[in-house]
Amino acid sequence: MALISFFDVLLGVICFLFLYCSRNKDGCPKSYPIVGMMPALLLNVHRIHDWCTEILETRHCSFLFKGPWFSNMNMMVTCDPADIHHIMSSNFANFPKGPEFKQMFDILGDGIFNSDMDLWKNQRTAAQGFMRNHRFHKFLSRTSRFKVEGGLIPVMDHFAKRGLVANLEDVFQRFTFDATCILVTGHDPRSLSIEFPEVLFSKALDDAEEAIFYRHARPRWFVKLQRWLNMGQERKYRKAWQVFDDITVEYICRKRKELNQGSNSISEVVEEGVDLLTSYITTEKSIGLECDDKFLRDTILSMMLAGRDTTSSALTWFIWLVSRHPIAENKIIEELRSIIPAEESNKRRVFDSEEVKNLVYLHGALCEALRLYPPVPFQHKEPLKPDVLPSGHPVNPNMRILFNLYSMGRMKSIWGDDCFEFKPERWINGRGGIKHEPSYKFLSFNAGPRTCLGKETAFIQMKTVASAIVYNYRVHVSDETPIVPAVSIILHTKDGLMARISTRWD
């Protein structure tokens, strides 16, 4: 027994010494011959976001990660607002997504997130036109309320009445999956119900996102070997790809059949709303895009990935943060009470998107959650030509540039000494209105020409859901499961948001 304890202590000392020696005095990971900084990355991949934050804090928001020799893994990691403004706006033409990005996210095909140059411009113009249409906005508001009343509330009541532990992250993912599916395809998969049916599409999204994350952290030759052997993450990725192909083909065939027959579904698609798939098919000639089945498949998948995961991730972290900050929770409730008649207070209520869209404190609390836990914690670019960033770092076409959004929200030089605190007041100006921060400082919705088209859509959905949850229910998060980020390209939680629910007004 004593011998075992001795070896445990010895192993701990060895690990400590290795970790200590893996960092230079300047805070940068130590670069070894042949393997570069890979040992430090592998030791910290399970806590990649916090590890990067620690390095970026000591390195003044930028550092060069050196990968193994001949692996093409050298990366300029930055969360410097000046660098980001330069890349996303000032010198936008020199920093496309690039071929390596498209190779890593090849499952998205030629969708808007993978595209560059004219193809991207044409797709963005078309999508922007559809999403700014007043009919789509009405459709969005009605769909959000439809899914809150018909899906979210019954599920929350189910957990509350039976005293069951709910995984709220799964609940929010099902909500956003259903809502996005209606908005994109006009079809309601009804995954948000008390039966909690298995959703193959959602499971495939999770598997694909995990595999894409590991593509960022592994040499290209290793990924190719896994793909050739059909094993590990690449095996899961291939299966997910097949699921996407099968389900999107079903959506497209169903939609073409409905349009040919002049029929609709789900209460005339929530009172004659126009879903995006219908818009693409019926206006193909006028928008200048060839909307064949391959293009529609790539578009559906890109929209589903963006709509399901980013909004559900934001809601998960928001509810967790609010549950830990009762003062902020009470301020949100009081703000919601202020917009309803006195006789309707202290009873259950679902808010329309128009009622909550201008609420300042609620908006600030959501922005604060997005600052600390951005749904897409990192993204990367590739320069076409050599350039020097405002921080003084040279970059070239053989180097990836990785933006770390998670770390950006935790930089004292950007957000102040209280950057780790959840403070919705940070987003309220001296006149009591919403304080707007530059997009290259608050990058959750991207910046420059690639600013997220779904920003307004996301806020409408988040405010509709957040108001319904906070006003009508108390969320008691379990202390048994630590809430930490998962290893993925989307900032999910590692083990879900497990909580007990109680109704507030009964």
Query: How confident is the model at residue 96, as a pLDDT?
Result: 86
The per-residue pLDDT for range 163-219, each reduced to its tens digit, is 999 999 999 999 999 999 999 998 899 999 999 998 898 889 889 988 998 888 788
Q: Is residue 329 part of a domain?
A: yes
Q: Per the domain annotation, does 86 fall within a domain? A: yes
Quick: pLDDT tens for 381-427. 889 999 999 999 999 988 889 999 999 999 999 999 999 999 999 99
SS3 394: strand
Give the model confidence (pLDDT) of 322-348 as tens digits. 999 999 999 999 999 999 988 877 788
The pLDDT assigned to 273 comes to 61
For residue 208, give the amino acid letter.
A
Tell me whether residue 168 is in a domain: yes
**What pLDDT was estimated at residue 213?**
86
Mean pLDDT of 339-359: 89
**CATH number of the domain where residue 420 is located:** 1.10.630.10
| Domain assignment present for 24 | no
Banded pLDDT at 148 (limits 50, 70, 90): very high
The identity of residue 384, as a single letter, is L
Between residues 23 and 472, the one the model is more confident about:
472
Give the residue-averaged pLDDT of 131-136.
Answer: 85
The structure's pTM equals: 0.89
- CB contact at 8 A, 226 and 233: yes
Domain annotation covers residue 22: no
Distances (CA, A) of 89 to 84, 112, 118, 230, 451: 8, 18, 17, 40, 10
Provide CB contacts within 8 A for 14, sequence distance 6+: none
pLDDT tens digits, residue range 445-454?
999 998 898 8
Tens of pLDDT, residues 279-316: 888 887 667 778 889 999 999 999 998 888 899 999 99
Angle 374-369-479 (CA atoms, 0-180°, nearest 5)? 105
**Quick check: 439 and 85 in contact, CB under 8 A?**
no
Q: Where are the beta strands (DSSP E) in 344-399?
A: 378-381, 387-388, 394-395
Q: Does residue 17 register a pLDDT over 50?
A: no
11 part of a folded domain:
no
User: What pLDDT, on the 0 to 100 scale, is given for residue 482?
Assistant: 84
8 Å CB contact between 108 and 302: yes
Report the domain count for the chain: 1
Backbone angles phi, psi at 499, to 5 degrees: -155, 155
Give the least confident one: 7-11, 24-28, 115-119, 220-224.
7-11
Q: In sequence order, which residues have a C-beta less than 8 Å from that of residue 436 and are 6 or more positions away?
A: none
Model pLDDT, residue 7: 42
Q: What is the reported pLDDT for 24?
A: 58
What confidence tens digit (pLDDT) does each residue in 58-104 have? Answer: 999 999 999 888 777 889 999 999 999 999 999 999 998 878 888 88
**Mean pLDDT computed over every residue of the chain:** 88
Percent of the chain's residues with pLDDT above 70:
92
Domain span at 119: 31-503
- The confidence score (pLDDT) of residue 330 equals 96
Work out the pLDDT band at 114, boundaries 50, 70, 90. confident
Residue 6 in any domain: the answer is no
Q: Is residue 391 part of a domain?
A: yes
